[in-house]
Structure 1
Amino acid sequence: MSDAVLRHRALEALTTARARTVLLTTCVDDDELTTQHSPLMSPLVWDLAHIGNQEEQWLLRAVAGREAIRPEIDSVYDAFEHPRAERPSLPLLSPAESRTYASDVRGRVLDVLDRHPLHGGPLVDAGFAFGMIAQHEQQHDETMLITHQLRRGPAALDAPEPPRGSTVGLPAEVLVPEGPFTMGTSTEPWALDNERPAHHRHLPAYFIDATPVTNAAYQAFIADGGYTDERWWAPDGWDQIRRHGIGAPLFWRREGGQWLRRRFGVTEPVPEDEPVLHVSWYEADAYARWAGRRLPTEAEWEKAARHDPVSGRSRRYPWGDEDPAPDRANLGQRHLRPAPAGAYPQGASPLGVRQLIGDVWEWTSSDFLPYPGFAAFPYREYSEVFFGPEHKVLRGGSFAVDPVACRGTFRNWDLPVRRQIFSGFRTARDV
Structure 2
Amino acid sequence: MTVTEAATLIEDLAAVRQRTLDLVSHLPVSDLERQIAPIMSPLVWDLGHIAAYEDLWLVHRHADQPLLRPDLAALYDAFETPRAVRGDLEILDHADALVYMEAVRDRTIAAVEAHGTDPVIHEMVLQHELQHTETMRQAMALAGLLPPGEPRLSPQRGDGTDRWLVVPAGTHALGAPPGRFSYDNERPRHAVDLDGFQIAQHPVTNATWLRFVEGGGYVRREWWSAEGWAWKEEYDITHHAGVATGPADAPVCHVSWFEADAMARWCGARLPTEAEWEKTADRLDGVGHVWEWTASPFRGYPAFAAHPYREYSEVFFGDKHHVLRGGSWATHRRVATPTFRNWDLPERRQIFAGVRLVRDLEDPTS
TM-score after normalising by structure 1 = 0.79
Aligned equivalents of 2:11, 2:228: Cα separation in 1: 42
Per the alignment, residue 290 of structure 2 pairs with: 360
Equivalent position amino acid for 1:130 in 2: H
Per the alignment, residue 256 of structure 1 pairs with: none
- TM superposition shift of 1:9: 5.0
The number of residues matched between the two structures is 360
1:213 maps onto 2:204 in alignment? yes
Aligned equivalents of 2:153, 2:340: Cα separation in 1: 23
1:139 maps onto 2:115 in alignment? no
Aligned equivalents of 1:370, 1:8: Cα separation in 2: 36
Alignment of 1:79-228 (within 5 A): 79-118=78-117, 124=118, 127-152=119-144, 156-158=147-149, 165-167=156-158, 172-228=163-219
Equivalent position amino acid for 1:73 in 2: L
- TM-superposition CA deviations, 1:282-306 (whole Å, max 9, x none): 000000000000000011101111x
Unaligned runs of 5+ in 2: 362-366
Percent of pairs identical after alignment?
43
Per the alignment, residue 333 of structure 2 pairs with: 403
- Report the 3-state secondary structure (helix = DSSP H, G, I; strand = E; otherwise coil) of the residue aligned with 1:130: helix
Per the alignment, residue 280 of structure 1 pairs with: 256
Cα distance change on mapping 1:243 and 1:57 into 2, 3 Å: same
- Report the 3-state secondary structure (helix = DSSP H, G, I; strand = E; otherwise coil) of the residue aligned with 1:98: helix
- TM superposition shift of 1:96: 0.7
- TM-superposition CA deviations, 1:180-218 (whole Å, max 9, x none): 121112414321110111111111111000010111111
- TM superposition shift of 1:6: 4.4
Aligned equivalents of 2:276, 2:11: Cα separation in 1: 33
- TM-superposition CA deviations, 1:334-386 (whole Å, max 9, x none): xxxxxxxxxxxxxxx2xxx2122x11000000000000111001111000000
Cα distance change on mapping 1:368 and 1:209 into 2, 3 Å: same
- TM-superposition CA deviations, 1:131-176 (whole Å, max 9, x none): 0001111111111001110115x664435966654349x9611011
Aligned equivalents of 2:39, 2:153: Cα separation in 1: 28
Per the alignment, residue 335 of structure 1 pairs with: none
Per the alignment, residue 359 of structure 2 pairs with: 429
On the 8 A contact 1:61/1:68 being kept in 2, the answer is yes
Per the alignment, residue 380 of structure 1 pairs with: 310
- Structure with the higher helix share, 1 or 2: 2
Cα distance change on mapping 1:83 and 1:160 into 2, 3 Å: closer
Cα distance change on mapping 1:278 and 1:70 into 2, 3 Å: same
Cα distance change on mapping 1:282 and 1:376 into 2, 3 Å: same
Per the alignment, residue 265 of structure 1 pairs with: none
Alignment of 1:332-351 (within 5 A): 349=283
Aligned equivalents of 1:419, 1:86: Cα separation in 2: 20
Per the alignment, residue 21 of structure 1 pairs with: 20
- TM-superposition CA deviations, 1:22-73 (whole Å, max 9, x none): 0233221111111011111010110000000000000001111112111011
Equivalent position amino acid for 1:275 in 2: P
Aligned equivalents of 1:376, 1:271: Cα separation in 2: 42
- TM superposition shift of 1:115: 4.0
Per the alignment, residue 74 of structure 2 pairs with: 75
- TM superposition shift of 1:177: 1.7
Equivalent position amino acid for 1:282 in 2: F
- TM-superposition CA deviations, 1:383-420 (whole Å, max 9, x none): 00000000000000001111121101100000000001
- Report the 3-state secondary structure (helix = DSSP H, G, I; strand = E; otherwise coil) of the residue aligned with 1:294: coil
Aligned equivalents of 2:71, 2:35: Cα separation in 1: 23
Aligned equivalents of 1:212, 1:165: Cα separation in 2: 9
On the 8 A contact 1:278/1:419 being kept in 2, the answer is yes
1:248 maps onto 2:232 in alignment? no
Residue number among 214, 230, 238 corresponding to 2:221 in the alignment: 230
Unaligned runs of 5+ in 1: 119-123, 254-258, 261-269, 306-317, 319-348
Cα distance change on mapping 1:296 and 1:161 into 2, 3 Å: closer
Equivalent position amino acid for 1:212 in 2: P
Residue number among 417, 420, 427 corresponding to 2:347 in the alignment: 417
- TM superposition shift of 1:105: 0.8
Equivalent position amino acid for 1:129 in 2: I
On the 8 A contact 1:194/1:374 being kept in 2, the answer is yes
- TM superposition shift of 1:17: 2.0
Residue number among 242, 249, 266 corresponding to 1:290 in the alignment: 266
Residue number among 298, 304, 308 corresponding to 2:280 in the alignment: 304
CA RMSD of aligned residues (A): 2.0
- Report the 3-state secondary structure (helix = DSSP H, G, I; strand = E; otherwise coil) of the residue aligned with 1:381: helix
On the 8 A contact 1:369/1:387 being kept in 2, the answer is yes
Cα distance change on mapping 1:193 and 1:155 into 2, 3 Å: closer
Aligned equivalents of 2:157, 2:250: Cα separation in 1: 10
- TM-superposition CA deviations, 1:252-298 (whole Å, max 9, x none): 48xxxxx32xxxxxxxxx21101100010000000000000000001
- TM superposition shift of 1:241: 1.2
Per the alignment, residue 364 of structure 2 pairs with: none
On the 8 A contact 1:128/1:189 being kept in 2, the answer is no
Per the alignment, residue 46 of structure 2 pairs with: 47
